[in-house]
Structure 1
Amino acid sequence: MQPDAFDTALSKATTPDDAYAALMALTRARVPARLFTIMTVDLDAMEARRAFTSHPEAYPTSGTKPIEMNDWFARVVTDGEVFVAQTLAEIAQVFPDHALIGSLGCGAVVNLPVVRGGTVGATVNILDAEGSYPPEVVAEAEALISFAARALDRIAALQA
């Protein structure tokens, strides 16, 4: 999917899933992404919610989980920095569900913080096989942050 196709799909989105699916299609056209999820972040409630997933059986969108104040949270949510892990061992250091991630054939991750209203309101989580994210691919993934922000703006408009 090219950016103008994303714009068209986003303008035609009538549900949040339509907007998220357009972002997933654009992402998969630019970077390897076996697993694609979006987590919304509610700092007031200290909860995260999976708003979209490419694998609903393994990672359903139902429910919330408490935000853990760890190094990953400080880096991605507090500091708004991209997080990259190239191996499942690196993923295991920050994600307790690393065994499930590995069972899906994933061993590398890029987490993109999406800022809304001056704070990180969501993360886009892109996972694929170990070693899938060398610097040039990470740069391509980082370029998706502005598209993710536009998708979240469209979703906010749909829910208004």
Structure 2
Amino acid sequence: MTTELPPALIALARAAASEADPRAVFRAAEAANAALLGHRLFTILFVVPGGAEVERVHSSDPVAYPLTGRKHMGPTPWGDLVLKQGRTWLGNGMDDIRWAFYDHETIARLGCAACINIPVREGGEVVGTLNILDAADSYTERDVATAEVIGGFLPGALRRAATLAAAAARD
């Protein structure tokens, strides 16, 4: 049996295996997501050591969500679910978005009311999150599985991005 894989997913696999620059992997992940699921906002964050904050290392909208922007996740129900338990989260409506995110008004202004959050794990440890947002009711559980495949290519790039950010902070 031969399975035809989407070209964007193949490109992501190749970037994850060969690119030293994590930004190239993040761009390939965004392109794969655009081809397979679509989005209005696509961000990738790594978990800052200590686990109370996440730092944005990729954004499809750097004006609304700039790079290196940090979010204090603290003890929130969303943080417990995604960051601590390592479970995916699917929200499909503004009630869900308000439950999960303090910046829900910014998200709404972008026309987003659906969200998939994928905990990116390496060796069982959550090292970051993949965050995909679009209009209300844009995503299904089947889409979550596709997003999990995309997220599966990101741990190495997230580790490299975290190392680069830590080195820059020391300089």
TM-score by length of 2: 0.81
Alpha-carbon spacing, 1:19–1:108, altered in 2? closer, same or farther (3 Å): same
Q: Which runs of 5+ in 1 are unaligned?
A: none
1:134 to 131, 135, 140: 140
Contact 1:23/1:151 (8 A) holds in 2: no
Alpha-carbon spacing, 1:24–1:15, altered in 2? closer, same or farther (3 Å): same
Q: Aligned equivalents of 2:121 and 2:16: distance in 1?
A: 19
Instruction: Return structure 1 stretches of 4+ with deviation > 3 angstroms.
Output: 8-14, 150-153
Once the two structures are TM-superposed, the CA of residue 113 in structure 1 deviates from its matched residue by 0.2
Give the secondary structure class of the aligned counterpart of 2:154.
helix
Q: Which runs of 5+ in 2 are unaligned?
A: 1-6
Once the two structures are TM-superposed, the CA of residue 18 in structure 1 deviates from its matched residue by 1.3
Per-residue CA distance 1:1-60 (angstroms, 9 max, x = gap): 432222334455352221110111111111121100011112426221111100000000
Amino acid of the structure 1 residue aligned with 2:101: F
* 2:4 aligned residue: none
* 1:20 aligned residue: 26
* 1:89 aligned residue: 95
Once the two structures are TM-superposed, the CA of residue 121 in structure 1 deviates from its matched residue by 0.8
Aligned residues: 158
TM-score by length of 1: 0.86
What percent identity do the matched residue pairs reach?
A: 35
